Amino acid sequence: MSRIAFVNGRYLPWRQASVHIEDRGYQFSDGVYEVCEVRGGRLIDERLHMARLERSLKELRIAMPMSLKAIGLVMRETVARNRVRDGLVYIQITRGVARRDHAFPAAGTAPAVVVTARGLDFASNERTAAEGIAVVTVPDNRWERVDIKSVSLLPNVLAKQAAREQGAKEAWFVDRDGRVTEGSSTNAWIVTRDGEVVTRPADNGILRGITRTVLIEALKAQGLTFKERAFTVEEAYGAREAFITSASMIVMPVTRIDGRPVGNGAPGLLASALRRDFHRYAEWA
Ligand code: PDD
């Protein structure tokens, strides 16, 4: 089946789905994005993703290209036209097309909008979750506004590649004090030997993941001991469990950090249970 993308107001066949060479996203990474899970053809936590999109745009002073309602319709139409049941929908908004100049283009320059959707291999993800994944740690060399979901992802790209080259699925960024910030495209969590679930506070040092937000609600609802605090790499090495969260990974157990087994080296019981239960706490739309 041929894929379809929404590009600046039109649904186009994949081969024709291109943007202008002077799109500021292409030239300056001057844009933002969102990735929303699609499950059973429905969008998961759309409202929270749209709220974060609005915030990212506002922080970068990029105009909202259309109403949130219209964006919702386009995302659904893109999902439907690509016949995605389980997968992801991606939206990217840049500051638009203008002659190359670092400063903002003239007021009224239309932001550029791209929406794509693709299926994920459900069974393969479940197999990965049943085995757990390896992560490696890398220094966090990003700017101070990683709370904005900008398409400027070069350190994340290099970190993920470093992980791949070491046979790992994810890289965890570590700040100057030896504390884990987050993964290259996921949030990072541990469960301590005392059974406390820990993740870093959502200050400017991490992206406030939507999966993270919903999981915190789930932890509270289940009465589990949860703390938002930074944890060191050493603490993670000695943790009972570790896991990562994102729209594409949901809750994914981590079984090795820098080559060392986490806990007994098998996916954690709590992480696996949280993965199983996550969608009970998510909003389906
Ligand atoms: N990544 N931290 C970073 C740096 C991320 O890029 C992401 C999401 C997350 C998790 O956020 P959420 O739970 O809202 O997906 C944390 C997306 C999936 C991506 O870039 O593909």
Locate the ligand 1 atom nearest the alpha carbon of residue 182 and give its number: 2
Task: Measure the CA–CA gap between 234 and 163, rounded to whole angstroms.
Answer: 19
Please give the distance, rounded to the nearest whole angstrom, from the Cα atom of residue 91 to the centre of ligand 1: 13
- The finding on whether 182 has its CB within 6 A of some atom of ligand 1 is yes
pLDDT at 204: 85
- From the candidates 58, 69, 149, 220, give the one annotated as an active-site residue: 149
Task: Measure the CA–CA gap between 172 and 187, rounded to whole angstroms.
Answer: 9
Confidence of residue 112 (pLDDT cuts 50, 70, 90): very high
Is the predicted pLDDT of residue 7 greater than 90, yes or no? Answer: yes
- The finding on whether 207 has its CB within 6 A of some atom of ligand 1 is yes
Confidence of residue 48 (pLDDT cuts 50, 70, 90): very high
- The finding on whether 170 has its CB within 6 A of some atom of ligand 1 is no
Q: Are 238 and 257 in contact (CB under 8 A)?
A: no
Confidence of residue 132 (pLDDT cuts 50, 70, 90): very high
Q: Are 140 and 173 in contact (CB under 8 A)?
A: yes
- Helix, coil or strand: residue 11: strand
- The finding on whether 209 has its CB within 6 A of some atom of ligand 1 is yes
Averaged pLDDT, 134-155: 98
Confidence of residue 125 (pLDDT cuts 50, 70, 90): very high
Please give the distance, rounded to the nearest whole angstrom, from the Cα atom of residue 107 to the centre of ligand 1: 30
Is the predicted pLDDT of residue 27 greater than 80, yes or no? Answer: yes
- Please state, rounded to an integer, the average pLDDT across all residues of the chain: 98
> Among 81-85, 153-157, 194-198, 202-206, where is mean pLDDT lowest?
202-206
Confidence of residue 274 (pLDDT cuts 50, 70, 90): very high
Which tokens is 13 given? Answer: 């066949």
pLDDT at 167: 98
Averaged pLDDT, 2-28: 97
Is 220 among the catalytic positions? no
- The finding on whether 35 has its CB within 6 A of some atom of ligand 1 is yes
Locate the ligand 1 atom nearest the alpha carbon of residue 248 and give its number: 18
Is the predicted pLDDT of residue 129 greater than 90, yes or no? Answer: yes
Counting residues of the chain whose pLDDT is more than 70, the rounded percentage is 100
Spell 191-208 as b/e; 16+ CB within 10 A means b.
Answer: bbeeeebbbbebeebbbb
Please give the distance, rounded to the nearest whole angstrom, from the Cα atom of residue 150 to the centre of ligand 1: 11
**Ligand 1, atom 3: nearest CA belongs to which residue?**
185
* φ, ψ dihedrals at 116, nearest 5°: -130, 165
Residue carrying the six token digits 């030239």? 27
Please give the distance, rounded to the nearest whole angstrom, from the Cα atom of residue 11 to the centre of ligand 1: 26
Q: 144: which residues sit within 8 A by CB, 6+ positions away?
A: 204, 205
